[in-house]
Amino acid sequence: MAGQEDIAMTTETAPKPPTTTTNSTQHLTSRNPQWTYFKLQLIPHSSHPIKNFTIDPLTARSYLTSALSQFLGLMGSSIGIDILKIENPSPPLRLEQQQQQQQNESNGRGDFPNVWIRVPRDDGAAVLAALSSWVGSLSSSSTSTGPGDSEDGEGGGVAWRICAKGNYLSAIVHGSGEGAFSP
């Protein structure tokens, strides 16, 4: 191998960049949330007081489906509703709590069942319109096994009050929404 030069092959590793620990936060923005969440309250409309006004999941589902089908027909009954939580009022234990409940009822803010639901975001406006315009009925047969007991056995009506609506569950859980309509 005359005439060939000896070529020495060397490999060097590239220097590593200096590492520093920084607390970087990543922000995630969801522009199109999948769900719309509602906090609803079932309000009785009766000429006589209803004791033990509670609701079970089956009755809540039937009232929700009734409101949607009455407002939107067959398309309304096909909207998927997930019931996330039902909060029934607990019976007052002390005299002060009974007086507070009577005061709240006289102010129109009685202790009524709350229902948390979620619906697909695209159906949120239709659900809002359907639930806010619906008034159902309590027959005398349903009050003994259903949402409450009337003192004289007569039925009345029920309606949904929309307490909160939002595209994120944490926003409606942590905020009461009371300041939304105040001047």
CATH number at residue 142: 3.30.70.3250
**Residue-wise pLDDT tens digits, 23-74:** 677 776 667 889 999 999 999 877 666 667 789 999 999 999 999 999 999 9
Cα separation, 38 vs 176, in Å, equals: 12
Q: Is 85 a residue whose pLDDT tops 70?
A: yes
Q: Is 4 a residue whose pLDDT tops 90?
A: no
Residue 17 lies in a domain: no
Least confident range of 101-110, 127-136, 145-154: 145-154
Q: How many domains does the chain divide into?
A: 1
37 within 8 A of 169, measured Cβ to Cβ: yes
Q: List CB contacts of 147: < 8 A, sequence separation 6 or more.
A: 42, 44, 50, 53, 54, 55, 59, 113, 138, 158
Reduced to 3 states (helix: H, G, I; strand: E, B; else coil), residue 182 is coil
Residue 22 lies in a domain: no
121 within 8 A of 32, measured Cβ to Cβ: yes
**Residue-wise pLDDT tens digits, 6-21:** 555 556 666 666 666 6
Residue 157 lies in a domain: yes
- Average per-residue pLDDT for the chain: 75
Report pTM: 0.63
What number of other Cβ atoms are within 10 A of residue 18's Cβ?
A: 5
Q: Which two three-digit tokens encode residue 13?
A: 């590793």
Choice between 52 and 152, residue whose per-residue pLDDT is larger: 52
Residue 122 lies in a domain: yes
Residue 2 lies in a domain: no
Choice between 133 and 12, residue whose per-residue pLDDT is larger: 133
DSSP code string of 108-165: T-----EEEEEEEGGGHHHHHHHHHT-EEEE-HHHHHHSS-EESSS--EEEEEEEEEE
**pLDDT confidence of 107, banded at 50, 70, 90?**
very low
